[in-house]
Chain A
């Protein structure tokens, strides 16, 4: 029985447990049971991840996936952050976390800035062929990046940027142009043209209007773009694994190396703590800015 019908169904005539009423209660019960199953399926893995990261190895081996830790310990977190061996170095994830930050923040800021200017130019200063330029830029969203991987590697080697954080920033900025341009152009179309016209009559120029009129009108799209780019770049693995070396590797690569290396004893509690650390920045963004997050994801779903 669905709610819209409940809302207008006639009140029960005799007593409250008429067959129809009973059926409705049963339906509600089944509904919440199904929702509980859904919630366990999606939330369970995060719960297991967190609880395991505070357990000792003997406790993990004794089973009890869903139990809370008997003797909670933060040692796995300390090891994951500062001591775990990744490849041949044993300094934990902190260096890679730093790499990810140093790579992600400038790449996000630059690509959002470029996207905003492009979107503004395309939406508010149209010229013959603007539609074609837009299509040519936006088509980049659909291209599987495997098709550019080898030439990018060659180019980065030529520029002396292969294996460097700067190289990864450059690549993320370039391949961020299609999605940020699309996002801003589509948003700026809704900014009234009269505002721009009036300012132009007053003699205001391209950038003056951009910074003084258009940007102050668009905080929401800026937040969406920042979230989208931060999540995409922080979570990227393909470019990271192709163009980084052990000293410039970001978190995704380091985490995969830590967890999927075949050497030594597998310390699952450390792996779980490391996984939480890798997921934390984007997860926190989601918790703080969920609404914008969804808008970003829907816009960015087309992108590689």
Chain B
């Protein structure tokens, strides 16, 4: 026994973690997948098998349509805004500016804030009777409207701006690291040829950052699928259900509406979305390394 332990000490040390992950991760994913094929309400019941009916029902639930569409709408806008502005800010900071670390810190500190805190701050800033709107009115622009939080058509922008404020720092830092990794000789050669800086960025530097773009897109996409706290704190899905996301729908069905079967189906669709992002990425990554 003692000799077995000594020879396999590595496996023995890992086995508690492996057991916990096997149960709490893989076992529970299987459990949720199983619940999604039942008609469970407040408690999981495995004697009410309904096949894929919950998935059929899910995609015929108007609220899920809103939530699922919002994920792509919010996700698309958030990716576009955060990547373009994150890259732009990284380029600005990369111009050998004074007080560089000051500007870097200011862009990055929101990373330390929770999404609940972020949501509350922006709820306050976007409040039409207290926030930015009032401030702009006092500057004399009385026709200015900033009603994102109360307008179902534009509420998604409230989520985008708050998520951007919180997440831009990480994206900027990744791009900045990428920019710093580019050979100085490229700049010297371009200067000798008299090529303007913006053309060097557009045609040479940015294409060289392709791996950073890939990383950023995958990281942000994973965070989009999981976005939950921000919505709860900022809009709570409102007005109505206009800013609902799959995670909020899932939570509501599981813990408030006691519809575990439907909730499990929505959770499995979320996992499926993550796999749809991840598998192509891992495929590209492993192929490049090979």
- A interface, CB within 8 angstroms of B: 1-9, 31-32, 34-35, 38-39, 41-43, 45-46, 48-49, 52, 60, 63-66, 114, 117-118, 121-122, 125-127, 130, 133, 136-137, 139-140, 142-155, 174-175, 177-178, 181, 205-206, 231, 234-238, 241-242, 252, 255-256, 259-260, 268, 271-272, 275, 278-279, 282-283, 285-287, 290, 293-294, 297-298, 301-302, 304
Decide: A149 and B173 in contact? CB cutoff 8 A: no
Q: Give chain B residues whose Cβ lies under 8 Å from the Cβ of A235.
A: 113-117
Residue B143 interfacial (CB < 8 Å) = no
- Residue in contact with A140 in the complex, picked from B16, B21, B32, B135, CB distance below 8 Å: B21
Known: A114-B17, A121-B13, A143-B25. A231 touches B92 (CB 8 A): no
- Residue in contact with B92 in the complex, picked from A35, A144, A293, CB distance below 8 Å: A35
- Residue in contact with B29 in the complex, picked from A63, A148, A175, CB distance below 8 Å: A148
Decide: A206 and B10 in contact? CB cutoff 8 A: yes
Decide: A272 and B24 in contact? CB cutoff 8 A: no
Decide: B131 and A4 in contact? CB cutoff 8 A: no
Decide: B112 and A282 in contact? CB cutoff 8 A: yes
- Residue in contact with B165 in the complex, picked from A42, A64, A144, A149, CB distance below 8 Å: A42
Q: What would 20 A/B residue contacts be, using CB atoms closer than 8 Å?
A: A4-B187, A7-B96, A35-B103, A38-B107, A48-B121, A64-B135, A65-B135, A142-B274, A143-B271, A146-B250, A146-B270, A148-B24, A150-B35, A150-B260, A151-B35, A205-B9, A268-B130, A279-B113, A286-B108, A301-B170
Decide: A302 and B219 in contact? CB cutoff 8 A: yes
Q: Give chain B residues whose Cβ lies under 8 Å from the Cβ of A155.
A: 24
Known: A177-B21, A279-B112. A242 touches B255 (CB 8 A): yes
B253 → chain A, closest Cβ, in Å?
10
Decide: B92 and A282 in contact? CB cutoff 8 A: no
Known: A5-B187, A148-B28, A260-B236. A283 touches B165 (CB 8 A): no
Known: A31-B95, A174-B20, A298-B174. A144 touches B114 (CB 8 A): no
Alpha-carbon separation in the docked complex, A4 to B187 (Å):
6
Decide: A150 and B264 in contact? CB cutoff 8 A: yes
Known: A174-B24, A235-B115. A9 touches B97 (CB 8 A): no
Contacting A at CB under 8 A, from B254-290, are 254-255, 260, 263-264, 266-268, 270-271, 274, 278
Query: Closest residue of chain A to B263, judged by CB?
Result: A150
Query: Closest residue of chain A to B220, judged by CB?
Result: A301
B27 → chain A, closest Cβ, in Å?
8
- The 3 A-B pairs with the shortest beta carbon distances in the complex, nearest first, are A235-B114, A125-B10, A3-B96
Query: Closest residue of chain A to B271, judged by CB?
Result: A147
Decide: A238 and B31 in contact? CB cutoff 8 A: no
Alpha-carbon separation in the docked complex, A286 to B94 (Å):
22
Alpha-carbon separation in the docked complex, A234 to B18 (Å):
25
Q: Beyond the given A7-B96, A147-B270, A271-B124, could you list 8 further A-B residue pairs with CB under 8 A, ordered by the A residue number?
A: A136-B22, A143-B271, A177-B17, A206-B13, A279-B113, A290-B105, A297-B173, A302-B222
Q: Give chain B residues whose Cβ lies under 8 Å from the Cβ of A238.
A: 228-229, 247, 251
Decide: A144 and B28 in contact? CB cutoff 8 A: no
Known: A143-B29, A235-B115. A5 touches B197 (CB 8 A): yes
Q: Give chain B residues whose Cβ lies under 8 Å from the Cβ of A34.
A: 92
Decide: B225 and A144 in contact? CB cutoff 8 A: yes
Interface size on B, residues (CB 8 A): 95
Looking at A122, A127, A181, A287, the one whose CB has the most chain B CB atoms below 10 A away is: A127
- Residue in contact with B13 in the complex, picked from A42, A117, A237, A272, CB distance below 8 Å: A117
B265 → chain A, closest Cβ, in Å?
11
Looking at B95, B200, B232, B233, the one whose CB has the most chain A CB atoms below 10 A away is: B95
Decide: A148 and B32 in contact? CB cutoff 8 A: yes
Alpha-carbon separation in the docked complex, A205 to B12 (Å):
14
Decide: B9 and A206 in contact? CB cutoff 8 A: yes
Alpha-carbon separation in the docked complex, A41 to B88 (Å):
14
A46 → chain B, closest Cβ, in Å?
7
Q: Give chain B residues whose Cβ lies under 8 Å from the Cβ of A301.
A: 170, 219, 223
Alpha-carbon separation in the docked complex, A152 to B173 (Å):
35
Decide: B124 and A268 in contact? CB cutoff 8 A: yes
What string of 1s and 0s marks CB contacts (under 8 Å) between B132-153 and chain A? 1011001000000000000000
Known: A118-B13, A150-B35, A260-B233. A237 touches B96 (CB 8 A): no
Q: Give chain A residues whose Cβ lies under 8 Å from the Cβ of B9.
A: 121, 125, 205-206
Alpha-carbon separation in the docked complex, A231 to B258 (Å):
32
Decide: B138 and A148 in contact? CB cutoff 8 A: no
Residue B41 interfacial (CB < 8 Å) = no
Residue B202 interfacial (CB < 8 Å) = no
Query: Closest residue of chain B to A227, judged by CB?
Result: B112
- Residue in contact with A234 in the complex, picked from B28, B114, B123, CB distance below 8 Å: B114
Decide: B113 and A237 in contact? CB cutoff 8 A: no
Query: Closest residue of chain B to A66, judged by CB?
Result: B135
A276 → chain B, closest Cβ, in Å?
9
